[in-house]
Amino acid sequence: MFLHGILGTKRNWRTPANVFLKKTGFAQALTVDHRGHGGSRDYGRGVKGPTVAICAEDLESLVNQELNGQVPDVLCAHSFGGKVALAFIEARLQRRAPIPQHTYILDSLPGTYTERIDSNTGKFPSNSVHGIFETLESDNLLSFPSTKVVIDVLVNKRGVPLPVAQWLTSGCFIPKGSDHFVWGFDLPVARSLFNDFCERDEWSFLKHFDGHGNSADGSDAKIHFVRAGKNKMWTDKDVDALKSLEGGGVSYHLMNHVGHWLHVDDCEGLISLIASVGP
């Protein structure tokens, strides 16, 4: 099972999931849209303050509906999805339900998350997540005649890097009965989810996690953190804290040559890492 990050969709995982199947021999991979994103774009409206925990409950419902209650053997979760995966595991352990044998948390820090404001402008950088939210909200970019038009606004007016603008528009679509594109995410829902993600701290859970005998077949369960070396949000303190947990149910891996979208920068390398560690 593969979980995307904030403002993404399950389409982000289509190619890596196929590579995973070829390398591991698994028969099935399931990619998931979080509420407010992709195929679940309209799911979550009217819910006051959707949270990481609610997304974990959505995942539990999906397991029951699509997998007949059988937890996936491997769970891969990027960025925002990483805390959803941890919340999902934590909730299942509280009920003494089996958890995935291997969970890969991809470039997602366990603790609270704070983006730095640019000292020159007094605003969040245009390529930061908060900066992107501010751009989309302030320019009221809710619909547009073409993705080319909105990319031009994002890049030339707001200073968003071209690759980020292209990624943001990759999930855009034209609703039935309209002639304008809309985003592949519901902005207020995504904003609420990201705010909760920033405030949620999973260090206490990880410090008490051992995974002994907790997978579906009774074997030990593992949580693997994979860090993108070019992501400067990681600190020595974060790395040391994760390394201090190794030897139990948590492990730390570094892909030094990739940025935050590590499954895009080096898809083959990431899947090879996953295949070599487990299953």
- Round to whole Å and give the CA distance between 151 and 196: 28
Domain ranges of the chain: 2-114+192-277, 129-184
SS3 15: helix
Q: 208-217 long-range CB contacts below 8 Å, 24 or more apart? A: 209/245, 209/248, 209/249, 209/250, 210/248, 210/249, 211/99, 211/248, 211/249, 212/249, 214/93, 214/98, 214/99, 215/73, 215/98, 215/99, 215/100, 215/101, 216/70, 216/71, 216/73, 216/98, 216/101, 217/101
- Round to whole Å and give the CA distance between 124 and 119: 9
Residue type, 155: V
Predicted local distance difference test score (pLDDT) of residue 209: 96
SS3 32: strand
Structural contact between residues 178 and 45, judged by C-beta atoms closer than 8 angstroms? no
For residue 97, give Cα distances in angstroms to 30, 205, 211.
20, 16, 12
Predicted local distance difference test score (pLDDT) of residue 163: 85
Q: Which of 104, 89, 84 is nearest to 5 (CA)?
A: 84
Tens of pLDDT along the chain (279 residues)? 999 999 999 999 999 999 999 999 898 999 999 999 999 988 766 666 799 999 999 999 999 999 999 999 999 999 999 999 999 999 999 999 999 999 999 999 999 988 777 777 777 777 788 888 888 887 677 889 999 999 998 999 888 888 888 888 988 999 999 999 999 999 999 999 999 999 999 999 999 999 999 999 999 999 999 999 999 899 999 999 999 999 889 999 999 999 998 998 999 999 999 988 765
H helix count then E strand count, the chain: 11, 8
Neighbours of 138 (CB within 10 A): 9
Report residue 83 CA to chain centroid gap.
8
CATH architecture group of domain 2-114+192-277:
3-Layer(aba) Sandwich (3.40)
Token representation of residue 139: 């320019």
Token representation of residue 223: 């949580």
